[in-house]
Amino acid sequence: MTKKNSHWGTTLDSFLAEDGIREAAKAEALTRVIAWQLTQEMERQGITKAALAERMHTSRAQVDRILKAKGNVTIESLQRAAVLVGRELRLELV
């Protein structure tokens, strides 16, 4: 007979939902993944942060915020950066 482990709790999704932060956590995680993918593509192509900032007509500090997914990074900013490294950002409802 298997004894249930008393230290096991709920899933992460249910924990986040109970705290009312599930959607915010998912949005931040998605933003971080996209920022990581942008960084990887920049490295692959040899594009510096300064070069991307110049292409975006913005500051290097703003590019840092986008690539670190810090602050209020908009979908528009991520889309512009993706296009400028030759990629496409796709969002869809599932």
Q: What is the pLDDT of residue 18?
A: 82
CB 45 within 8 A of CB 85: yes
Q: What is the pLDDT along the chain (94 residues), one digit of tens a residue?
A: 566 666 677 788 888 888 788 888 888 889 999 999 999 999 999 999 999 999 999 999 999 999 998 878 899 999 999 999 999 999 888 8
State if pTM tops 0.95.
no
How far is the C-alpha of 86 from the C-alpha of 92, rounded, in Å?
A: 20
SS3 46: coil
